[in-house]
Structure 1
Amino acid sequence: MSTIAIVGAGPGLGAAVARRFGREGFGVALVARDRQRLDELVDELAADRVTARGFPADVRRPEELVDALGAAADALGTVEVLQYSPVPHRDFMRPVLETRHRDLFGPIEFSVYGPVAAVQQVLPGMRKLGRGTIFFVNGGTAAVPHPERAGTSIAFAAESAYGHLLHDRLAPEGIHVAQLVIPGAITPGHVRKDPAVLADLLWGMHRERHGFRHYADDLDS
């Protein structure tokens, strides 16, 4: 069975991606901090005939994330698709002139240490398979920094650079690395930013395998 690991899984985008890939025969590893919410989501997906398991971990604790992804591969099979899409904390979004160096610890742990730990854990398995997809899902500040959201602007820039480097280096090995930038909020019913629409977009990116940065909507949305 092919496996997708969704880091930062929740009832919105994470659940929609789980259903979309589940319909294609993927097993789904859901990674998030809250065990109870994971269990509830696993039950909801089971009702839709999606094979899913929950693996608690805090992305700001790389060791926990590595252990969770290792357990996911043991339980469901080699991770072929990794989606890194946790929602940033509000306290990461301070105005730039009020942002001190200590205010950047959290954003960097969240958007740099976490992704690097996750990729390093799943990459050997993808290389053995000879294929794989790695998604980084970010807000609009990944593309256009915002002076009122300094933490995410700075950390997303670093995450974007890491992803782009991976894209260039891993493409010859059959591993596709891509970023989806979602300006503004994910909004049920929105023509472009409804969770199911975004899940379809990610499925298409997995299948088509071209380019690094993709946009869910116009940046001024």
Structure 2
Amino acid sequence: MSSIAIVGAGPGLGAAVARRFGREGYDVALVARDRTRLDALAGGLAGEGITARGFAADVRRPEELAGVLEEAAGVLGPFEVLQYSPVPHRDFMRPVLETGHRDLVGPVEFSVYGPVAAVRQVLPGMRRLGHGTILFVNGGTAAVPHPERAGTSIAFAAESAYAHLLHERLADEGIHVAQLVIPGAIVAGHPRKDPAVLAESLWGMHRNRHGFRHYADDLDS
């Protein structure tokens, strides 16, 4: 049985990805901070015939995140797919001239320490399987920095660099690493940024295994 870990799972994109992969027979580990919301989401997915379990962890606590992913793999088996897609905090988005070094601690914990901890935890299992997919989901500042959103611009750049290095390094091992950049907000009913449409894009990135960076919409949208 195949499984996917969705770090930053919520009722929008995370739920849509869980449904899309669940339809293909994947078991789903839902990882986020709020246990109550995770249990509600897992229960709703179970009602749709999808095997899903919630695991509570804060991505800004890398040891905690790694421990939860280890626990989840013990329940669901080694992960074939990891998606890292938590939504950044609003206070990460300060203007660049109002951003001091301490203001970057949170964004870096969120967008660098978190994904590094997650990848290092699941990678041995993917290597044992002989294949895998790691999906990074970021906002538009990952591609074009914004002077009013310095924290995410700087941290997403670092996350993007890490993801691209993984893409280059792991390709020969059958592990595909890709990034989906979503400019602006995820919008229900939008032809390109509806959660179900984005989930389909992520499924296609997993299945087609072509290229590193993909765009959900035009950057100036």
TM-score higher than 0.5: yes
1:143-180 Cα deviation digits (max 9, x unpaired)? 00000000000000000000000000000000000000
Determine the C-alpha separation between the residues in 2 that align with 1:187 and 1:67.
Answer: 33
Please name the residue that 1:100 is paired with: 100
Please name the residue that 2:11 is paired with: 11
Name the SS for the 1:138 alignment partner. Answer: strand
Please name the residue that 2:58 is paired with: 58
Determine the C-alpha separation between the residues in 2 that align with 1:137 and 1:202.
Answer: 9
Determine the C-alpha separation between the residues in 2 that align with 1:58 and 1:22.
Answer: 24
Please name the residue that 2:125 is paired with: 125
Determine the C-alpha separation between the residues in 2 that align with 1:74 and 1:86.
Answer: 23
1:39-78 Cα deviation digits (max 9, x unpaired)? 0000110111000000000000001100110011000111
Determine the C-alpha separation between the residues in 1 that align with 2:68 and 2:30.
Answer: 9
1:194-217 Cα deviation digits (max 9, x unpaired)? 000000000000000010000000
Determine the C-alpha separation between the residues in 2 that align with 1:92 and 1:135.
Answer: 22
Number of aligned residues: 221
Please name the residue that 1:88 is paired with: 88
Please name the residue that 1:195 is paired with: 195
Q: TM-score, normalised by structure 2?
A: 1.00
Amino acid paired to 1:78: P
- Superposed, which structure 2 residues align to 1:173-192 within 5 Å? 173-192=173-192
Displacement of 1:110 in angstroms is 0.1
Aligned: 1:148 with 2:148: yes
Determine the C-alpha separation between the residues in 2 that align with 1:27 and 1:44.
Answer: 14
Please name the residue that 1:165 is paired with: 165
Amino acid paired to 1:122: V
Amino acid paired to 2:177: V
- Percent identity, aligned pairs only, is 83
Displacement of 1:81 in angstroms is 0.2
Determine the C-alpha separation between the residues in 2 that align with 1:43 and 1:118.
Answer: 24
Please name the residue that 1:32 is paired with: 32
Determine the C-alpha separation between the residues in 2 that align with 1:73 and 1:80.
Answer: 10
Name the SS for the 1:79 alignment partner. Answer: coil
Q: Which runs of 5+ in 1 are unaligned?
A: none
Q: Which runs of 5+ in 2 are unaligned?
A: none
Determine the C-alpha separation between the residues in 2 that align with 1:37 and 1:71.
Answer: 19
Name the SS for the 2:80 alignment partner. Answer: strand
Q: TM-score, normalised by structure 1?
A: 1.00
Amino acid paired to 1:167: H
Determine the C-alpha separation between the residues in 1 that align with 2:64 and 2:31.
Answer: 10
- Report the RMSD for the aligned CA atoms in angstroms: 0.3
